[in-house]
Amino acid sequence: MKTKVAIIGAGISGASIARVLSKYENLEVHLIEKAPDVGWGVSKANTALIHGGYDDDPEKYPMRAKLCIRGNRLWHQWVKELEIPHVWNGALIVALKEEDFDELEKLLERGRQNGVPEMRLVDREEVFHLEPNLTREAIGALWVPIVGQIGPIPAVIALVENAVANGVKTHLETEVREIKVENGEVKGVETNNGFIEADIVINAAGLYADRIARMAGIDYFEIHPRKGEYWIFDDDVPGPKRVLFPTPTPISKGIVVTTEISGHLMIGPNAQDLPPEEKENLATTKEGLEQVWEGAKKLWPQLPPRSKVIRTFAGLRPEPTGGDFIIKAEEEVWGFINVAGIRSPGLTSAPAIAHEVAGIIENSLGIELKEKEKWNPYRKEITHFFMMRPEQANEAVKKNPAYGKIVCRCNNVSEGDILEAIERMKFIGVKTPSVDSVKFRTKATTGTCQGSFCRPKIIQLLAREYGVEPWKVTLKGKGSEIGIGDVKALLRGEEA
C-alpha cells in the first residue's frame, strides 16, 4: 500500500520536493497550492540567483550553509535535465576601499569552510578584465565562478511538469484550512475543495508556513516578511556580464546589479522588515526604490535615464525566528514535516532541501523508499519562436502556421508559443485562464510595452482554448478579471 504525501505550497521548495518524491513507487504525492498556478508566492519575485555558498555562517545557520552549496551543485544537473533557462556567469563581491578586503577575506575563509570551489581574491586589473564597465572606484573583488542565474518561475513550472509526468497529482486553487491530527498522527488536510487524506504532510507554505504549522499544534516559530524592491530596465540597456555585489556590511548584503536571464538590467533588492500580518504587502515605495537606485550607482555608475525603466516590483522573503531554515519531522505530530523559513538562499538550496526531506521520510519516519524502475528525469522546454534560427522558424511555420503569427512584438512571441503554453497549463491542472500564466511561460507582456499591444490577443486565445467568454479571462486569477462583461449586449437589444 502506498504512503500518501501532501505537500502544501507549490513554490520552488514544494515543487522540488514533489519532483524528488515522484521517484518512489511506494509514495502517492499530492501537491497543494492556493494560487491558480505554481510559483506565484515567494518564488515569483526575487533576484533569481544560484548563490555560491560562501555567505552563510555554518555555526549560526548550519542548515543554510550545508544546503546552499549542495543545492548549487544539484542545479548544475537539474537545469540540463529540465531545460531551465540559466547562465553560469559568476559573481564579483566588489571592494571599493582597502578595509573591504578584511570582510572579503572572511567570506573567502567561510566559503572554503562550506566547500565552495574555485573562489579567489582578484586585483584591480583582473576585476576590470572580468567586468569592464564596473565603477572605476573598484580596487579588487572576491570572484566566485560557480554563481549563476535561473528563471525562478520557469524553474518551478519545469519541476511541476516533470513531477506530474511522473505521477504527482496537483490541487491548484486549493487552500488548506485545517490539518487533521488523531492520536498524535497526521491524517490529512481539510481544504476549500474537500478533505485530502495524507499519512505525511510537508509544510512548504512560504510566508504562511507558521500558520500551517499552528494548524498542527506546532507554534515554536514565526515567519515575518522581509520586503525587497527592484528596478528592471529595457533590454537595449547594457548590463553587467557578472553578478555584482558590494562588500557586505553587518546590516546588509547590499544592492545587487545584474543582467537577469532575459537580458534586462536589474537592480535590487533593499531589505525592509515588515510585521507578520503584512504577508501580502508587495507595494513599492519611493524611499525604498531611491535607496536601491543610489546603492546600485556605487557599482554601476552608468545607470540609464529613468525613461528606460520598464517595471518596478517588490518581493517578500519569509524570515523565520532564528534566521535558519526549519527542516525537520516534528516529534509531537508524527508525519508532519516542516520546510519553513526558506529565505535566501532558498532558491539555490531547493534541490538539496528536497533530498533532505526524502532523507527525513526514511530516517526520521522510518519509511523505506523504493525507487521506480522507470522514473523520467527529463522535461522539454517550451518552444520559443524568438530563439529559433531562420531555418528552424521556417520549418515550424510549415508544420504549424500559428508560429508565423507574432502576438508579442517586443519579445517575438508567436501564437504557436502561446497555444503550447496553454496546453502545458492544462497539463499541470491550471483551471482559471490568466494572462500571467502565459507571461511566465512565454515572456509575452514582459517587453518594452508591458503587454499594451499583445494582451488583447492573448485574452482571445485563452478564452477560445478554455471555452470561456473573454471578459472571464483573468490577469492573475479570480478577482482580477480583465473585463466587466459583454458591453455590446445593450446594442443588440439584450438585457444587461
In a domain, 123, yes or no: yes
Whether residue 490 has pLDDT greater than 80: no
Which of 227, 180, 205 has its CA nearest to residue 326? 205
pLDDT of 431-485, one tens digit each?
A: 999 999 999 999 999 989 999 999 999 999 999 999 999 999 999 999 999 988 8
CA 58/CA 19 separation, integer angstroms: 28
How do beta strands 169-171 and 27-32 pair? parallel
Q: Quick one: 141 and 245 in the same domain?
A: yes
Q: Which of 265, 298, 320 is the last residue of a domain?
A: 320
Which pLDDT value is given to residue 485?
84
Q: Residues 51, 86, 171, 224: which is the catalytic one? A: 51
Query: How many helices (DSSP H) and strands (DSSP E) are in the chain?
Result: 12, 23
Provide the residue count of the chain: 496
CA 21/CA 17 separation, integer angstroms: 6
Which pLDDT value is given to residue 313?
97
DSSP notation for 377-401:
---PPPP-GGGS-HHHHHHHHHH-G
Which pLDDT value is given to residue 325?
98
Whether residue 496 has pLDDT greater than 60: no
Whether residue 334 has pLDDT greater than 60: yes
Q: Quick one: 301 and 409 in the same domain?
A: no
| Start-end of H helices in 83-151 | 100-114, 124-130
In a domain, 211, yes or no: no
In a domain, 311, yes or no: yes
**CATH (domain of 287):** 3.30.9.10
Q: Which grid coordinates belong to 51?
A: 548563490
Q: Which of 320, 336, 356 is the last residue of a domain?
A: 320
Which pLDDT value is given to residue 84?
97
Q: Quick one: 252 and 127 in the same domain?
A: yes
Number of domains observed in the structure of the chain: 2
Q: Quick one: 306 and 433 in the same domain?
A: no
In a domain, 377, yes or no: no
Q: Quick one: 244 and 136 in the same domain?
A: yes
For 320-324, which contacts have Cβ atoms below 8 Å and span 24 or more sequence positions? 320/221, 320/222, 320/223, 321/220, 321/221, 321/222, 322/221, 323/60, 323/61, 324/60, 324/61, 324/62, 324/63, 324/64
In a domain, 115, yes or no: yes
| Integer CA distances (angstroms), 351 to 75, 156, 191, 218, in order | 7, 11, 27, 25
In a domain, 253, yes or no: yes
Q: Which of 292, 320, 348 is the last residue of a domain?
A: 320
DSSP bridge partners of 481: 474
Which pLDDT value is given to residue 494?
73
Instruction: Specify whether 86 is catalytic.
Output: no
* pLDDT, averaged across the chain: 96
Which of 432, 417, 427, 416 has its CA nearest to residue 467? 432
DSSP bridge partners of 243: 91
Q: Quick one: 280 and 135 in the same domain?
A: yes
Q: Indicate if the alpha-carbon torsion angle 378, 384, 390, 392 is positive or negative.
A: positive
CA 65/CA 118 separation, integer angstroms: 17
CA 259/CA 377 separation, integer angstroms: 29
Q: Which of 74-78, 302-306, 475-479, 483-487 has the lowest mean pLDDT?
A: 483-487
CA 221/CA 209 separation, integer angstroms: 9
Which of 92, 88, 89, 91 has its CA nearest to residue 123? 92
Q: Which of 86-95, 108-117, 359-368, 483-492 has the lowest mean pLDDT?
A: 483-492
% pLDDT > 90, the chain: 94
DSSP notation for 168-207:
PEEETT--EEEEEEETTEEEEEEETTEEEE-SEEEE--GG
- Give yes or no for a contact between 237 and 304, defined as CB atoms under 8 angstroms apart: yes
Q: Quick one: 414 and 276 in the same domain?
A: no
pLDDT of 218-261, one tens digit each?
A: 999 999 999 999 999 998 999 999 999 999 986 667 899 999 99
| Integer CA distances (angstroms), 370 to 72, 373, 406, in order | 26, 9, 47
In a domain, 365, yes or no: no
Q: Which of 229-238, 261-270, 487-496 has the lowest mean pLDDT?
A: 487-496
Which of 180, 62, 57, 61 has its CA nearest to residue 110? 57
Q: Quick one: 389 and 304 in the same domain?
A: no
pLDDT band at residue 491 using 50, 70 and 90 as cut-offs: confident
pLDDT of 372-393, one tens digit each?
A: 999 999 999 999 999 899 999 9
Q: Quick one: 108 and 246 in the same domain?
A: yes
- Give yes or no for a contact between 85 and 151, defined as CB atoms under 8 angstroms apart: yes
Which pLDDT value is given to residue 305?
95
Which pLDDT value is given to residue 495?
63
Q: Quick one: 424 and 304 in the same domain?
A: no
Which pLDDT value is given to residue 492?
81
pLDDT of 24-49, one tens digit each?
A: 999 999 999 999 999 999 999 999 99
**What does residue 242 show for φ and ψ, rounded to 5 degrees?**
-105, 170
In a domain, 14, yes or no: no
Q: Quick one: 130 and 257 in the same domain?
A: yes
Which residues form the domain of 139? 91-145+224-320
Cut 0.85: pTM above it: yes
pLDDT of 96-143, one tens digit each?
A: 999 999 999 999 999 999 999 999 999 999 999 999 999 999 999 999
Q: Please count the CA atoms within 13 angstroms of the CA of 295 that sit on its side-chain side.
A: 27
- Give yes or no for a contact between 356 and 66, defined as CB atoms under 8 angstroms apart: no
How do beta strands 49-50 and 86-87 pair? unpaired
Q: Quick one: 400 and 271 in the same domain?
A: no
How do beta strands 185-191 and 120-123 pair? unpaired
